[in-house]
A = this chain, B = another copy of it.
Amino acid sequence: MRKLEVVMSPALLPYYKVAGKSVVVIDILRATSSMCVAFKNGVEKILPVSSPEECRIFKDFDFVIAAEKDAIKVDGFDLGNSPFDFDNYLLDGKSVAMATTNGTKALKYAQEHGAKNIVIGSFLNLTQVSNWIKSVDDDIILLCAGWKDKVNLEDTLFAGAVCDNLQHDLTIDCDSALSAKLLYQANKDNLEDLVRMSSHAKRFQLLHLQTDDIKYCLQIDFAPVLPILKGVYLVNDAK
């Protein structure tokens, strides 16, 4: 049976064999949630870039540019990293270049480590991601973007939700996956309260950001899209 592993932080990825496996990148608050919302609103493609500086260049090439640094929209950008920024019908047909503190970095890191396929996961497309995993032949790594290389709760919970969905289809082959699954199973009826206790949520409060982002990002299957990396772009491959 195929293997399903969870990597709780990008800093742990070097200890896993990545080459030839498919990787689901997870950054619930908020990069991968926002990407799903963008595709739900008809965005044609997303270019993940490593830094706001690099991202800014693409304004000249008719991209909508989005950048966040430490949870705050960077000055001079069209969008930040809140899913509300991306829930806009005017984005239909547009191309977006996007830089975030953790999410786009995790994606680049998976690429550098030789991932075969890279897809984007969030609670907003949980079923799509689970079905996609069932449909491929590869071993799977669920890569949590975390917060500056530390483990975070919301990414771990989502990884646990995927493990819970797929526990009869794939072998759960590492203790991180087992821990994530157990954590999700014990708390699945209580996700919002839990995530509000997380360090990320506290950072939000500190920054006076709208904490509605949390509620928004926990809406299971709200954006049934499947962002997958094709060349340098993420595109929606939902069937």
Contact = CB atoms under 8 A, between A and B. Distances in A.
Interface of A: 8-9, 11-12, 14-16, 147-153, 156, 173-176, 178-179, 182-183, 186-187, 194, 197-200
A160 to B, nearest CB: 10
Given A9-B12, A186-B182, A186-B186, A175 B149 contact: no
A179 B174 CA distance: 17
A192 to B, nearest CB: 14
Contacts of A148: 15
Chain A interface, >50% SS class: helix
Contact of A197 (B12, B147, B178, B200): B178
Contact of A174 (B14, B175, B182, B199): B199
Contact of A153 (B151, B153, B178): B178
B151 A179 contact: yes
Contact of A182 (B8, B14, B176, B194): B194
19 contacts: A11-B12, A11-B15, A12-B149, A15-B149, A16-B150, A150-B174, A150-B176, A151-B176, A152-B175, A173-B199, A174-B199, A175-B198, A175-B199, A178-B197, A178-B198, A179-B179, A179-B183, A182-B186, A186-B187
